[in-house]
């Protein structure tokens, strides 16, 4: 059975491992092989250690099963004045994909938006080549509203293959979307409520809105 909890700094390495593995499996063709086959684990450990040590204005929820970390979602509350809170990362372990973990995590992100954010809007960026994730977000009621160039990880130009594009997927009101409806009548009904007991503190101030430079998918 899956359990869900708020991540702490002690989870940084496990989250980084799943994140790096997921990038290597799913981001080839947009991120350069040389970059993906390099020390992205070390880079991810540094990013997650920093994020989880100072989680102000963010929510990171872990899904766990008997094998360990099954997936995670990272939300930046009130990131953008127009588009709302940013789902900066959502990754499910390969052997658990298509078993409802992504749905459960995205619903928890939506619940956190309802509980913490100043507006009910939520959004994320997905790589144009990542068709599977786009089908998932469509199933979750998200709408593509914009295309934009992907910025190279760390701002280093040769980490991209050509000029890949990302899509902005938006939920103008999570409380009036497939995510919210699922709380009461979906196949995962009743499994969303625990988030309020686990949340970190609300943000001191809204984010910069510069989602393209902040988001690392
Ligand atoms: C994309 C991702 C987060 C989805 O999570 P998941 O747990 O696999 O998805 P779920 O099992 O909750 O799927 C819910 C519904 O979404 C749709 N869906 C999900 N994956 C799909 C796919 N590959 N093709 C078509 N539809 C899909 C289906 O309607 C599915 O319901 P069903 O299985 O009853 O048909 C996960 O597959 C993942 O981590 N992928 C790799 C990393 C990634 O791309 N992350 C997103 C970065 S923006």
Question: What CATH number did the domain enclosing 105 receive?
Answer: 3.40.630.30
Domain assignment present for 209: no
Q: What pLDDT is stored for residue 215 in this prediction?
A: 55
Q: What pLDDT is stored for residue 134 in this prediction?
A: 96
Q: What pLDDT is stored for residue 177 in this prediction?
A: 84
DSSP 79: E
Q: Which domain does 77 fall in, by range?
A: 3-187+196-202
Q: What pLDDT is stored for residue 216 in this prediction?
A: 67
Domain assignment present for 215: no
Q: What pLDDT is stored for residue 187 in this prediction?
A: 39
Q: Is residue 83 within 8 Å of residue 170, measured between CB atoms?
A: yes
Domain assignment present for 35: yes
Q: What's the CA gap between 13 and 46, in Å, rounded?
A: 9
Domain assignment present for 112: yes
41: left (phi over 0), alpha (psi -120 to 50) or beta: alpha
pLDDT in tens for each of the 217 residues of the chain?
899 999 999 999 999 999 999 999 999 999 999 999 999 999 999 999 999 999 999 999 999 999 999 999 999 999 999 999 999 999 999 999 999 999 999 999 999 999 999 999 999 999 999 999 999 999 999 999 999 999 999 999 899 999 999 999 999 999 988 887 544 444 334 443 444 433 333 333 333 233 334 456 7
Tell how far the Cα of 105 is from the centroid of ligand 1, in angstroms: 11
12 lines ligand 1 (CB under 6 A): no
Tell how far the Cα of 205 is from the centroid of ligand 1, in angstroms: 32
Domain assignment present for 62: yes
Tell how far the Cα of 126 is from the centroid of ligand 1, in angstroms: 13
Q: Which atom belonging to ligand 1 lies closest to the Cα atom of 97?
A: 8
Tell how far the Cα of 204 is from the centroid of ligand 1, in angstroms: 33
Q: What pLDDT is stored for residue 188 in this prediction?
A: 37
Q: What pLDDT is stored for residue 181 in this prediction?
A: 55
> What is the rounded average pLDDT for all residues in the chain?
87
Domain assignment present for 21: yes
Domain assignment present for 214: no
The Cβ of residue 17 has, within 10 Å, a number of other Cβ atoms equal to 17
- Split into its structural domains, the chain has a count of 1
21 lines ligand 1 (CB under 6 A): no
């Amino acid at each position: 059975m899956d359990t869900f909890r708020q991540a702490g700094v002690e989870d940084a390495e496990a989250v980084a491992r799943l994140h790096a593995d997921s990038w290597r499996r799913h981001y080839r063709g947009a991120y350069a092989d040389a970059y993906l086959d390099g020390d992205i684990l070390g880079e991810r450990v540094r990013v997650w250690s920093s994020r989880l040590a100072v989680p102000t204005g963010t929510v990171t929820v872990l899904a766990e099963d008997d094998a360990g970390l099954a997936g995670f979602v990272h939300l930046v509350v009130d990131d953008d004045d127009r588009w709302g809170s940013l789902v900066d990362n959502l990754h499910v372990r390969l052997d658990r994909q298509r078993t409802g973990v992504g749905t459960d995590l995205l619903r928890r992100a939506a619940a956190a938006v309802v509980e913490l954010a100043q507006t009910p809007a939520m959004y994320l960026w997905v790589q144009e080549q990542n068709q599977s994730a786009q089908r998932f977000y469509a199933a979750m009621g998200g709408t593509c509203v914009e295309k934009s160039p992907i910025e190279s990880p760390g701002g280093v130009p040769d980490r991209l293959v050509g000029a890949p594009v990302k899509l902005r997927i938006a939920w103008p009101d999570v409380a009036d979307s497939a995510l919210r409806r699922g709380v009461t009548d979906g196949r995962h009904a009743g499994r969303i409520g625990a988030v309020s007991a686990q949340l970190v503190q609300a943000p001191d101030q809204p984010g910069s809105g510069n989602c393209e430079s902040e988001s690392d998918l």
